[in-house]
Structure 1
Amino acid sequence: MLLITAEQVHEICRYPDLVNALEESHKQAPADLKDMLMTSVQPEPEPDNHMLIRAAWSHGNALGLKTAAVFPGNRTRSTLPVIHAAYTLFDGRTGVPSATIDGTSLTYYKTAGDSALGGKLLARKGISRMAMIGAGAMAPHLIRAHCEIQETIREVVIWNRTESKAQELAESLKISSVSIRATDDLEFAVRQAELLSSATMTTDPIIRGEWLSDGTHLDLIGAFTIDMREADDDAIRRARVFVDSRKTTIGEIGEITIPIETGVMSESDVLADLYQLCSGTAKGRDSDNEITLFKNGGGGHLDLMTAQFIFKSVQKST
């Protein structure tokens, strides 16, 4: 069994290659891949902490299990990441363990690759301005992923509740031909963006639909529980809505579930997921003027797809 470290994951994962692999993996029927999620919430005195257990099984191919500890308080009381995780990959024919992979780095690349694939399929061609809402551990990965897939991006604006963290990220992140700066004006960041990526821990919406410009692609990552949202009802009403997986978002994540429950949208207003978009059974963007909203819900299937990409890449290099 291979032990694949965070350093190896960072070396292997180039976003164009990873996004292509994720796109190919989504061409299989979703029925061929079982995806399960169990969430354990830590009781008082730290109810915000979560242990997430995600499992997926690709029939006759591979299966895997990720255990992740989500501790939001790490943002303020230490320099540690919010998420720590470990991933175990098994052979789908024999059940033999194939690899243990650093799950934290895998999660970064899986999440950013998921969003970048959504952007590849749904964002307008030739966009030049991106906004990043949130400056946590995911933010640099999302910025890099989108910039490597949307090669025409020339400007990135970062907003964070704590402005100094946005400034630190802007100063530390270097991408060729891309200007990166911080702003303390959330409305400005949203209004000027052609691609808006949001990865925050907010439970109440902070992105207002009235701020969105025509043609914007909205990439929502942060909400991962049933009571979390980053965008308000107006954003849902104005946008054509897509998700990475119907199974792991509808009824599971507040970003989509709350608007359905309150009558803002219906389940049929979720126009397609990545399985449908990648297989060509559903259309993505219809025009340059429409707003597209992509909910990145994650899910064990994406962990498994990313783990297989990493494992196969290590095998080729040895």
Structure 2
Amino acid sequence: MKVFDAAAVHAALPWTYLIEALAKAHREAMPVSDVVVQQDPAGSGNQFITLPGWVPNGPIAVKMVGVFPGNEKLTPPQPNVQGLVAMFDGTTGAPLLVADGAAMTARKTAGDSALGASLLARDDAQVLLVVGAGALAPHFAAAHMAARPSLKRVLIWNRSAPKAETVAAGLRGDGVDAQAVADLDAAVQSADVITCVTMSDRTLVKGALLKPGTHLDLVGAYMTSLRETDDEALQRARIYVDTRRNMENTGDLGSALASGLIAAEAIVGDHFDLAQGRVQGRQSADEITIFKNVGGAHLDVFTAIALNNAP
């Protein structure tokens, strides 16, 4: 059985390799998957989530993670999401690998959005705006730059300016032209690609400020009480998701679908539709596109397979 700590996971799954592996996986059938969410019985709001998935005639993967939003405020800080991913042989049930859950979540989540950007963002996009400066922010910056090599400049915005500067400084240390910004509205107006990785409960990105051709990636609002963009953005854009499963229970899309602001038919397609050629991605240079990163156990399976097959 292979064992991967966090460093080994990141080393084995470079972004270009992972994006292509995810694209290839979406050309096949959706795995059987499920999710079990347990709330902290002490009432803290923390959660423990188990996500099993099984590929037809293929392997089984199970992600077991805690979601503890207060972890980043600890001394020293810890990831808000951490745990383990295990993969098993689908024929015998034998364990094949176990891997650090936080690293796998970072790779899977950012790789998922990067695949969306590779299909939906303009191929001449130059400015990337990362909204949020948590543990995932550097991964999303790197993943989007791998998906769209035309991106030359990265802006980081966060409610806490020092955290934004910390992320920007780390990216500059890796040779990226990155800077922290204080004016979110101005940054939105200048960006070609925007990725939102927050746990915000109120609108951050205003649809009226999106310039023609912008690609907006919505990640952090994983439940309906959270929100990263507004109704105008949803009405101006062509909307795509990674999967339609559970999209009605996510932020941004969930409330819009429930209120009738948009119909389910407004969701143009998902990763399976795009990868299998049932729908097209970007239609024009001026079109605004939105990708909602819903997530799901099938992505953990696909990422575990990529890890197991990594050269």
Measured against the shorter chain, the TM-score band is over 0.9
Matched, 1:167 2:165: yes
Matched, 1:85 2:83: yes
Report the CA distance between 1:176 and its aligned residue: 6.6
Q: Secondary structure at the match of 2:72?
A: helix
Q: Secondary structure at the match of 2:205?
A: coil
Matched, 1:259 2:264: no
Following the alignment from structure 1 to structure 2, what is the Cα–Cα distance between the partners of residues 56 and 241? 26
Following the alignment from structure 1 to structure 2, what is the Cα–Cα distance between the partners of residues 36 and 252? 15
Letter in 1 for 2:158: N
| Counterpart for residue 7 of structure 1 | 7
Letter in 2 for 1:52: I
Aligned counterpart in structure 1 of residue 286 of structure 2, from 268, 289, 304: 289
Given that 1:154 and 1:177 are in contact with CA atoms closer than 8 Å, whether structure 2 keeps it comes out as: no
Report the CA distance between 1:12 and its aligned residue: 0.8
Given that 1:153 and 1:178 are in contact with CA atoms closer than 8 Å, whether structure 2 keeps it comes out as: no
Letter in 2 for 1:73: G
| Counterpart for residue 71 of structure 1 | 68
Given that 2:53 and 2:298 are in contact with CA atoms closer than 8 Å, whether structure 1 keeps it comes out as: yes
| Counterpart for residue 56 of structure 2 | 59
Given that 1:51 and 1:70 are in contact with CA atoms closer than 8 Å, whether structure 2 keeps it comes out as: yes
Letter in 2 for 1:62: P
Q: Secondary structure at the match of 1:156?
A: strand
| Counterpart for residue 20 of structure 2 | 20
| Counterpart for residue 115 of structure 1 | 113
Following the alignment from structure 1 to structure 2, what is the Cα–Cα distance between the partners of residues 85 and 176? 27
Following the alignment from structure 1 to structure 2, what is the Cα–Cα distance between the partners of residues 144 and 233? 29
Given that 2:171 and 2:177 are in contact with CA atoms closer than 8 Å, whether structure 1 keeps it comes out as: no
Given that 1:144 and 1:175 are in contact with CA atoms closer than 8 Å, whether structure 2 keeps it comes out as: no
The Cα offsets for residues 104-149 of structure 1, whole Å up to 9 and x where unpaired, read as 1011010111011000000011111010000001100000011122
Matched, 1:237 2:235: yes
Letter in 2 for 1:23: A
Letter in 2 for 1:103: G
The Cα offsets for residues 61-105 of structure 1, whole Å up to 9 and x where unpaired, read as 011111111111122233111111201101111111111111110
TM-score by length of 2: 0.96
Task: Kindly report which structure 2 residues correspond to 1:1-318, keeping only aligned pairs within 5 A, or say none.
Answer: 1-30=1-30, 33-43=31-41, 45-47=43-45, 49-78=46-75, 79-174=77-172, 178-249=176-247, 251-313=248-310, 316=311
Following the alignment from structure 2 to structure 1, what is the Cα–Cα distance between the partners of residues 67 and 7? 21
Q: Among the aligned pairs, what percent are the same residue?
A: 35
TM-score by length of 1: 0.94
Report the CA distance between 1:292 and its aligned residue: 0.2
Following the alignment from structure 1 to structure 2, what is the Cα–Cα distance between the partners of residues 83 and 54? 13
The Cα offsets for residues 7-64 of structure 1, whole Å up to 9 and x where unpaired, read as 211111111111000000000133xx112122223255522x2222211110110111
Following the alignment from structure 2 to structure 1, what is the Cα–Cα distance between the partners of residues 201 and 51? 22
Following the alignment from structure 2 to structure 1, what is the Cα–Cα distance between the partners of residues 173 and 14? 14
Q: Runs ≥4 in structure 1, deviation > 6 angstroms?
A: none
Given that 1:61 and 1:93 are in contact with CA atoms closer than 8 Å, whether structure 2 keeps it comes out as: yes
Given that 1:128 and 1:154 are in contact with CA atoms closer than 8 Å, whether structure 2 keeps it comes out as: yes
Q: Secondary structure at the match of 1:205?
A: strand
